[in-house]
Amino acid sequence: MLQRTVLLNDDYLIDIYDATSEEPRTYDWVYRNRGNFSTTSDAFTAVDEVWGDDGYGYLSGIESADIDGDLQADWQVSSDANVRATLLAEPGTTYITARGPIAARRDDEIAGRPIPMVISRRAEVPSTKFVSIIQPYGDDAELLEPVDIEIDSETGRALEIVRDGATDLFILDEQFNTKQVDGLQFTGTWNWLSQVDGELHWAMFDGTELVGDGWRLSQEDLSGLDQPPGMGMYFENPAAGTGETPDRIIVANTYEFVSFIAIEGLMDSALEINELDADGNFARTMPIKTNGDGLIKFLAQPGMTYEVVRG
């Protein structure tokens, strides 16, 4: 089974690719781009071929390296247009660089010039997770550098990404557990959030709870599961960075089942909670289970977005 999650903001995207099977097998994650190609590693050596069917025989200029750490790969498209892919570390990874064909602009033909690519390979495993951060940038001054920060989980990793006017945090863990990161407490497997002047602007996570200084976001499975697979939500505070209590908050249930969502410490109460359709238009007003003393709790439908209006 293959499951892909793509997280995108104005500056970069995070690609999370989960692959599982009943038997061990070899998985390849591939990224290619036009431009002059380079990597931050000098460990690559030439190889004759890449094992595999379905097009691998068309690759040329093949090199490989066994690297346990992150790999950064750059494509210079022009003097002021570049792309960097940061492939996050996983023990036992073989990285492969090569040039491969692409389709021509017209007809069912192959273009005359192949383009450079990087392949992340995990061999003979029943499951694996490929995670990469991909950023377009003009020059080095615009390049964002993910920095590891402390996390109290042996299987987890936390990356801080400082952008113009915001500080993002990406938490990734093999285990569904509770961990502390930079004054935040998170229960789940991955979390991507952004803060403006120390205030939570937005967050999207796969898990059940995110707790900060005086506030808490949580989600509850109706069947009572403590670690429901795939449970998650999106949260946005448009007033972040102002120091003011928000007039409205946006939340979405990204879980495939109905669940309770609770918002605590961000507004005293809700005047109403509006369910929005796919275009952001009003669909209906939702009943509220708990409303007052800083706690708002309501039943959220799968895949739906809600506007919580302050009371």
The string of pLDDT tens digits covering residues 75-86 is: 999 999 999 999
Indicate if 200 and 294 belong to the same structural domain.
yes
Indicate if 165 and 302 belong to the same structural domain.
yes
Indicate if 113 and 245 belong to the same structural domain.
no
**Residue 181 is part of which domain span?**
146-311
* Residue of 123, 111, 133 whose CA lies nearest to 58: 111
Partners of 181 in the β-ladder: 184
Indicate if 186 and 278 belong to the same structural domain.
yes
User: Which residues have CB under 8 Å from 285's CB, separation 6+?
Assistant: 272, 273, 274, 275
Count up the domains in the chain and report the number: 2
User: Which residues have CB under 8 Å from 249's CB, separation 6+?
Assistant: 235, 236, 237, 238, 263, 266, 267, 307, 308
Among 126, 141, 156, which residue terminates a domain?
A: 141
Indicate if 236 and 265 belong to the same structural domain.
yes
Q: Look-up: residue for tokens 């950023």?
A: 135
- The CATH number given to whatever domain includes residue 121 is 2.70.98.70
Indicate if 179 and 122 belong to the same structural domain.
no
- Identify residue 251 by its one-letter amino acid code: V
- Six-digit token string for 308: 């919580």
Which pLDDT belongs to residue 48? 82
Residues of the chain with pLDDT below 50 are: none
Indicate if 135 and 153 belong to the same structural domain.
no
- Six-digit token string for 274: 């509006």
Which pLDDT belongs to residue 104? 66
Which pLDDT belongs to residue 112? 72
Burial class (CB in 10 A: 0-12, 13-18, 19+), 277: exposed
- Decide: helix, strand or coil at residue 140: helix
Yes or no: say if 298 and 273 are a contact pair by the CB < 8 Å rule.
yes
Indicate if 197 and 134 belong to the same structural domain.
no
Indicate if 177 and 130 belong to the same structural domain.
no
Which pLDDT belongs to residue 51? 74
Instruction: Write the pLDDT tens digit of every residue in 84-137.
Output: 999 998 989 999 999 988 776 777 776 678 999 999 999 999 999 999 999 999
Is this prediction's pTM over 0.95? no
Indicate if 227 and 293 belong to the same structural domain.
yes
Indicate if 246 and 290 belong to the same structural domain.
yes
Among 113, 141, 169, which residue terminates a domain?
A: 141
DSSP assigned state of 209: E
Among 141, 156, 175, which residue terminates a domain?
A: 141
Indicate if 104 and 230 belong to the same structural domain.
no
In angstroms, the CA 218 to CA 230 distance is: 14
